[in-house]
Structure 1
Amino acid sequence: MAKSVKSASPVNPGEAAENVLVIKLSALGDFVLALGAMKAVREHHPKARITLLTTPPYKGFAELCPYVDAVETDGRPETMKATAALISRIRKARYDIIYDFQTSGRTKNYFTALNKTGKAPLWSGHHEKAAFFHDNAERKTMHSIDRLAEQLEVAGVAPDGRWLGNSAPKPDLSWVRPKLRDAPRLQPAYFSLEEPYMLLIPGASAHREAKRWPVENYAELAKRVADAGITPVIIGGKAEGQLAHEIVRKEPRTKSLTTRTDLFQIVTLAEKALFVVGNDTGPMHMAAIAGAPGVALFALTESNPDHAAPRGAKTIIINSAPTLAELSVDDVWQSVRALGVLPS
């Protein structure tokens, strides 16, 4: 009887790779948390041209990121025609390997389409037919950093086969300031700020009210901060404009920079901030990764910090109330004091 022959297991091309695609579409917090995995890909394929497929909000930031060489922003095409064009472009690029760090239904469909029209490229992601299938049943409950690390282990991107303990590749934003040559717009003085100052991040998903600490609580916290001789500074986008207006009205010593900061400036302001307090939102992740001591506010009914908490060396997570409306200013102030950064 003839012996059955097993097909060879796929092999990551490593240093031999010339053309690599990384897919990460959004959201801001998830995008930033994936930077450690992107760096690991860059180190594993040092000679490759690495392309990032993303969405327009991250174009400028990604173009300066040292882990990629090219940025494409049509990762979420709105029409069937545009989707077909994207799939055709990916196929023609003949990538040596594709890392799907989005692992959504949309990106799984991209692989399915590629697989139907011929031999699909080596693919790392959550698709049962992928060469490197991350099939951990617990993947949806893992923290983003740990999930991506395990996905890379499956794809053969890890020292000695795996990252042990707390050694998973962590996001790093230390490249921002030197990449922009420490430009004047990265300095607190650009915003007429003097140290010491701290950052308030009152935004979060507008449709998930329980994730937002009430504006009156932020105003009271701002008062305590200002009384301590520290300038409270609000950062956020257009959606946070009204929140900032109300906080400043209640505590005029607060300064609002809503709509005035880009992603690079969030990083560099956080680097020099005394501390940060914010909801479970993208800029809070950026501030923590930039090294700012911080207090992150999580609602028990909305988010599990084990899956999505900012991972900063000096970050305190508060997750003690079903909704943030039930979290008192005293609770948050106690955590701020525990950071050990307030003037004595």
Structure 2
Amino acid sequence: MSSARGNAASPVNPGVKAKEVLVIKLSALGDFVLALGAMRAVREFHPSARITLLTTPPFEEFAKTCPYFDVVETDGRPEGLKGTNALLSRLRRAKYDIVYDFQTSGRTKNYCSVLSRGGKAPLWSGHHEKAAFFHDNPARASMHSIDRLAEQLEVAGVAPQGRWLGKSGPFPDLGWVRPKLGDPPRLSPAYFGIQKPYMLLIPGASEHREAKRWPIENYAELAKRIADLGITPVVIGGKAESAIAQELMKREPRVKSLVTRTDLFQIVTLAETAVFVVGNDTGPMHMATLAGAPGIALFALTESNPDHSAPRGPKTVIVNSAPTLKELSVDDVWQSVRALGILPTGSSLSTG
């Protein structure tokens, strides 16, 4: 494991004495959600500090509701020199005791370099040679996001007895969503006219990454098998998934579409009461399994490595993978759905 600079002058995390703490996480949705466990660990380690999150606009509402932050700033990716200088000036004036860089990109490394020049620089946790808590593990790029963040926290001294062991790791918990919002009607499936039992289909993937898109006819056949068991297939996603949802409903009329209709909070609460979820390697898929839905995650091995980014959750998550998703059959995925052990009695009969 990586460690802080091993000498007598090694820096010490201020812990409960910290007054100002900065957490940096700019994107993307899946990575942001996977970092929530590490964010909670920072909150618990600095209980009296004012903790600021530096992020980007898509996560503003979600982050402001999250109980781990006192301040949310969304100009983490400023445009132009003027915006960058304004951001860096504000970060200097804040006089942070410690910064947790959970983005560890070239951009945030530059922020570290600038803030370390002149005056009293904040302690920095991240992947930068000048960081007080330098996570220099050469294998960090091949680690799952949750495991990598756990090790980064260990280097900074943020871990029970110095180590995150097994299930004690900084696992994201989305259980705060419903109580923080007061459990309004819009968090209920009935708000969308959805009756239980239902499951979620998350077919999203970039249009230019064809290998990551499971064919529409496969989703339609899977939806038919699910609907035949009395479980309503519900499609969620953004504007890019509108055409997919329309085609799915055309091929299987029992499919319901909530595409473009759900915010991040509603994805969480829909997943909490879904029988299961099937989806591509996307941010909403991560949210759904972390919220408690058993899941089948579809991975194109030519595009991404499930060892690095497979969805995790408190219930079973099975990864189905192939070099490209068009090589993954409906029968392969159906077998995994049955292996979850959550289908109604008699579901092991016909496969369509």
Q: TM-score, normalised by structure 1?
A: 0.96
Asked whether the 8 Å contact 1:87–1:110 carries over to 2, the reply is yes
Alignment of 1:51-130 (within 5 A): 51-130=52-131
| Structure 1 residue identity aligned to 2:271 | A
Deviations 1:79-104 (CA, angstroms, capped at 9, x unpaired): 11100100000000001100000000
Please state how far the C-alpha of 1:318 moved relative to its aligned partner: 2.9
Residue 211, structure 1, aligned to residue 209, structure 2: no
2: CA distance between counterparts of 1:57 and 1:11? Answer: 34
Aligned to 2:146: 145
Deviations 1:21-45 (CA, angstroms, capped at 9, x unpaired): 0000000000000000000000000
Please state how far the C-alpha of 1:116 moved relative to its aligned partner: 2.6
Alignment of 1:143-182 (within 5 A): 143-182=144-183
Please state how far the C-alpha of 1:119 moved relative to its aligned partner: 3.4
Aligned to 2:254: 253
Aligned to 1:35: 36
* Structure 2 residues without counterparts, runs of 5 or longer: 1-6, 346-352
Asked whether the 8 Å contact 2:234–2:256 carries over to 1, the reply is yes
Higher deviation after alignment, 46-55 or 199-208: 199-208
Please state how far the C-alpha of 1:159 moved relative to its aligned partner: 1.1
2: CA distance between counterparts of 1:319 and 1:274? Answer: 18
Q: 1:141 to 1:99 in 2, by over 3 A?
A: same
Asked whether the 8 Å contact 1:296–1:315 carries over to 2, the reply is no
Asked whether the 8 Å contact 1:305–1:317 carries over to 2, the reply is no
Please state how far the C-alpha of 1:167 moved relative to its aligned partner: 2.2
| Structure 1 residue identity aligned to 2:327 | E
Aligned to 1:18: 19
Q: CA RMSD in A?
A: 1.1
2: CA distance between counterparts of 1:61 and 1:36? Answer: 15
* Structure 1 residues without counterparts, runs of 5 or longer: 1-5
1: CA distance between counterparts of 2:162 and 2:199? Answer: 41
| Structure 1 residue identity aligned to 2:204 | G
Deviations 1:189-220 (CA, angstroms, capped at 9, x unpaired): 00001000000000023322111111111111
| Structure 2 residue identity aligned to 1:293 | P
2: CA distance between counterparts of 1:166 and 1:63? Answer: 27
2: CA distance between counterparts of 1:222 and 1:148? Answer: 36
2: CA distance between counterparts of 1:44 and 1:211? Answer: 39
Please state how far the C-alpha of 1:301 moved relative to its aligned partner: 1.2
Asked whether the 8 Å contact 1:300–1:319 carries over to 2, the reply is no
| Structure 2 residue identity aligned to 1:286 | M
Asked whether the 8 Å contact 2:320–2:333 carries over to 1, the reply is no
Deviations 1:64-93 (CA, angstroms, capped at 9, x unpaired): 101111100000011111001000000000
Please state how far the C-alpha of 1:7 moved relative to its aligned partner: 6.4
Aligned to 2:350: none
Deviations 1:297-319 (CA, angstroms, capped at 9, x unpaired): 11121111110001113333334
Deviations 1:220-272 (CA, angstroms, capped at 9, x unpaired): 11111111111100000111111111111111110100000000000000000
Please state how far the C-alpha of 1:160 moved relative to its aligned partner: 1.1
Q: TM-score, normalised by structure 2?
A: 0.94
Higher deviation after alignment, 110-119 or 279-288: 110-119
Aligned to 2:47: 46
Asked whether the 8 Å contact 2:229–2:344 carries over to 1, the reply is yes
Deviations 1:318-342 (CA, angstroms, capped at 9, x unpaired): 3441100010001101111111111
Asked whether the 8 Å contact 2:21–2:51 carries over to 1, the reply is yes
Residue 227, structure 1, aligned to residue 243, structure 2: no
| Structure 2 residue identity aligned to 1:106 | R
Partner SS for 1:297: strand
1: CA distance between counterparts of 2:330 and 2:9? Answer: 60
Please state how far the C-alpha of 1:117 moved relative to its aligned partner: 4.0
2: CA distance between counterparts of 1:205 and 1:20? Answer: 35
Deviations 1:154-179 (CA, angstroms, capped at 9, x unpaired): 00111111112332110000000001
Number of positions where the alignment pairs a residue of Structure 1 with one of Structure 2: 339
1: CA distance between counterparts of 2:162 and 2:239? Answer: 44
1: CA distance between counterparts of 2:135 and 2:149? Answer: 9
| Structure 2 residue identity aligned to 1:57 | P
Aligned to 1:296: 297
2: CA distance between counterparts of 1:160 and 1:48? Answer: 21
1: CA distance between counterparts of 2:76 and 2:321? Answer: 37
Please state how far the C-alpha of 1:145 moved relative to its aligned partner: 0.4
Asked whether the 8 Å contact 1:316–1:335 carries over to 2, the reply is no
1: CA distance between counterparts of 2:227 and 2:116? Answer: 59
Higher deviation after alignment, 40-49 or 242-251: 242-251
Aligned to 1:275: 276
